[in-house]
A and B are shown apart, each in its own frame.
Chain A
Amino acid sequence: MPAIELRDVTKRFGTVTALDGLDLDVREGEVFGFLGPNGAGKSTTIDVLLDYVRPTSGTARVFGHDAQAEPTAVRERVGILPDGYGALGRMTGREQLEFTIEARRGREGPQALLDRVGLAGDGDRQVRTYSKGMAQRLMLGMALVGDPDLLILDEPTTGLDPAGARMMREIVDDAVSDGVTVFFSSHILGQVEAVADRVGILYGGDLVAVDAIDALRETAGATGGVTVTVDALPDALVNAVAAIDGVTDVTVDRDDQGRPLVDASCTPAAKGRVVKACYDDGADVRDVDTREASLEELFVSYTNGDPDAADALAGSDASERDGTAVAASRGGER
C-alpha cells in the first residue's frame, strides 16, 4: 500500500489554480523530496494530505485512509512539520511537547525530545518567544512524538542554522532506518539531493517529473563533467575525448596562465576515461576538476529553462522508470 496516494487532485482558490490534476504515489519507507519554486503548490499538497484544505476535486489517501473522510486516522500515523504554524497559546516548549505526547499517546519524555532537537536549555521558555529556528526545532520534535509511520515536513530547514540543518538530516536518516516514510518539500536543491530517494518536481500545480535524482539528471541531459588542465593540446585529443562512451560534449578553453582546459560533459563513470585519454594522447595533465550537475540546472531544465524537456516528461509515464531508479539510488547513496 502506498504511504501517499494522490489521484487527480485539483485545488482552486477562487480563480487561482494551486493544484491541477496532481497524481502522486509515495511508497512506504522511501524518502520523497518534493521540489518546486514558490507558489508551485507544495504546501497546498501537504495541506490536502492533512485536511487543512479541501480539494476541489480528486482524492488523497494516506496509508489507505481518505484524507478528507478520515482525517484523524491520517493524523494518527503522520508526524507533521507544517508551514505557517504558531505557538499553542502561551505554552512553554516543554508544555507543548507534553500536550503533543498526550494527544498522540506517545511514550517519549519531553526532556529527551528537547535534547534530541537541541532545545535542552529552552524547554521552560514560552514558545512564542522562540526564534524561527528554535520553533522549527520544536515542531520537528513534536512531529516525532508517538512514532509516526510517515513524516511530512514542509520546508523543514527554513530558519535553521547549519547545525540545525544537520540535525534535521540526522533525524530524517534515523527515521528512515526505523522504516519511517519521509515526505518533504523544499526549494533548496542541495538538501533534497542529500537525503531523497526520489524527487518530484512540481511546477504550476502539476508534477513535471518524478524519479531518482540520477535518473532525472540523465533524462534532463544535465550530467556533470570533468575539466582537465593540460600543458599542451595534442591535435587528436578533442576527437579522442569526444569518442569516449558517456561523453556528451567537449569544449576547449584556456586558464589564466594560458594553459589549455579540456572540458568534457559526461557521466560520472566516464570521468576517469577522459583523464586517461588525455594521458594516452601524450598531454601532461596539470590539474583535474570534476563537477556534478547541480539540481539547480536540472530544475531549470525541467521547468522554465527548457519547456520542451518539461513537456516531454509530463507526457511520459514517469512511474515506469521508478522501480529501478529507486533501487539504484538506495544502493548508491546510502
Chain B
Amino acid sequence: MWRLIARKDVEDSVRERQLHVGVGLFAVVGLVAGYIYASSYDPAYADRPELQFLGVLVGAALFLAPITGIMLAQGRIVDKRNRGELVVLLGMPFSRRDVVLGSVAGRFAVTAAVVACLFAFATGVAALMVAPIPLLRVLAFLVVFAAFAGVFVAIGVAISAAVSGTTRAAVLAVGVYLFFVFRVHDIAWKLFVNGVYGTRNAPEALLPVAAQLGPFTALRNVVVGVYPEIAGAFGYFGGAPPTEVTALAQPAVGFVVLLAWASAPLYAGLQRFEGADL
C-alpha cells in the first residue's frame, strides 16, 4: 500500500507544480555550472579537466541536494495532518507506516529527479561547448548525490512525522541542515575534549571523532576513500581532513554513518507518529 502513497506523492508534486519549479531552478544551476566549467576549461593548460567538471558538480550538489531533500520532505506529513488530508488517507486501508514510507519513497523520487536535472543540464551545456566529460563518473556521482539527498529526505520525513505544527517542522528542518553544515556537533565535541584534557593536552586522535559522524563528512569519507582525487571538491562542507586517519574516517564507517542517518531518525519519527493523536 505504501507504493500507492508514494505514487500519489510524486503526482502531487506534479499537480502542485513543485516539480516544475524544482526542475527549473536546478536546470539553471546546472546550466551555470556547465558553462563555468566549459568556459574556463583550457585544453592547453588545465590539468585533468574531468576532475574540474566533477569538482563543479560536487560543489553545487553538496550544497543543494541535501537542502532540497530535507525541505521537500519536512512538510509532507505535518501539512496533511493540519489540512485534514491525513484523516482521509487513514480512513482508507493505509497504515501510518504506509504513509511515512510512501512519503519517503515519493519525496526521494522527486528529489532524485531534481538532482538529476542539475547533472543533466550541466553535462549538456559542457558537451555543447565541446569540453571533455567523464560520463561514467558523472553518472556515478549522480547516484551518490541522489542517495545523499535521500538521507536528508528520510530526516525531513522523520521531522514531518514527529511534530504537529508546520512552522515547527520547517524551523527544525532548516535547523538540522545548518547544524550539519556548521558541524555544531564537531564544535561541541572539541570544546568538550579540550575542556576535559586542557587545550594543550587534548589527544590528537580524539578531537576529530565527532566530525566523522556528521553526514557531510561521512559522505566525503566514503567518496574520497574510493576516489581520492576529488577530496578538494568537498571544501568546507567536508570538514578538515583528519590529520591522521582514524578508524572512523574509513569509507566503510562513513557508509554506516550515512545508513544510520537515513534510518534512525526515520524510525524515531515513525514511532512518535504511530503513537500520536491526529
Contact = CB atoms under 8 A, between A and B. Distances in A.
Contacts of A54: 275, 277
Nearest to B83: A86
A227 B78 CA distance: 59
A85 B4 contact: no
Interface stretch (B39-47, B89-97, B132-140, B255-263): B89-97
Which interface class (under 10, 10 to 19, 20 to 34, 35 or more) fits A? 20 to 34
B168 interface: no
Contact of B92 (A52, A53, A87, A100): A100
A75 B92 contact: yes
B277 A86 contact: no
Of B4, B80, B83, most buried by chain A (CB within 10 Å of CB) is B83
A53 B278 contact: yes
Contact of A52 (B85, B95, B277): B277
A78 B90 CA distance: 11
A72 interface: yes
B185 interface: no
Interface in B75-128: 80, 83-85, 87-96
A82 B94 contact: no
A108 interface: no
Nearest to B82: A86
Contact of A103 (B4, B83, B87, B278): B4
A125 B94 CA distance: 25
B88 A142 contact: yes
A50 interface: yes
A102 interface: yes
A85 to B, nearest CB: 5
Contacts of B12: 89-90
Contacts of B4: 99, 102-103
A85 B8 contact: no
Which interface class (under 10, 10 to 19, 20 to 34, 35 or more) fits B? 20 to 34
A213 B155 CA distance: 54
Interface string B164-178: 000000000000000
A75 B277 contact: no
A66 interface: no
Contacts of A89: 8, 12, 15-16, 85
Contacts of B278: 47, 52-53
A84 interface: yes
Contact of B93 (A13, A76, A83, A88): A76
A99 B9 CA distance: 12
Nearest to B88: A85
Given A53-B277, A54-B277, A89-B8, A103 B15 contact: no
B8 A52 contact: no
Contacts of A52: 87, 90, 277-278
Interface in A86-106: 86-91, 99-100, 102-104
Contacts of B93: 72, 75-76, 103-104
A312 B94 CA distance: 43
A79 to B, nearest CB: 8
Nearest to B97: A72
A-B interface, 8 closest residue pairs, ranked by CB to CB distance from nearest? A86-B84, A80-B91, A53-B277, A86-B83, A103-B92, A89-B12, A90-B15, A52-B278
25 contacts: A50-B91, A51-B90, A52-B278, A54-B275, A72-B93, A75-B90, A75-B93, A76-B93, A78-B91, A80-B91, A82-B88, A83-B87, A84-B84, A84-B87, A85-B84, A85-B88, A86-B85, A87-B83, A88-B8, A88-B89, A89-B8, A91-B15, A103-B1, A103-B92, A103-B93
Interface of A: 13, 47, 50-54, 71-72, 75-76, 78, 80, 82-91, 99-100, 102-104, 139, 142-143
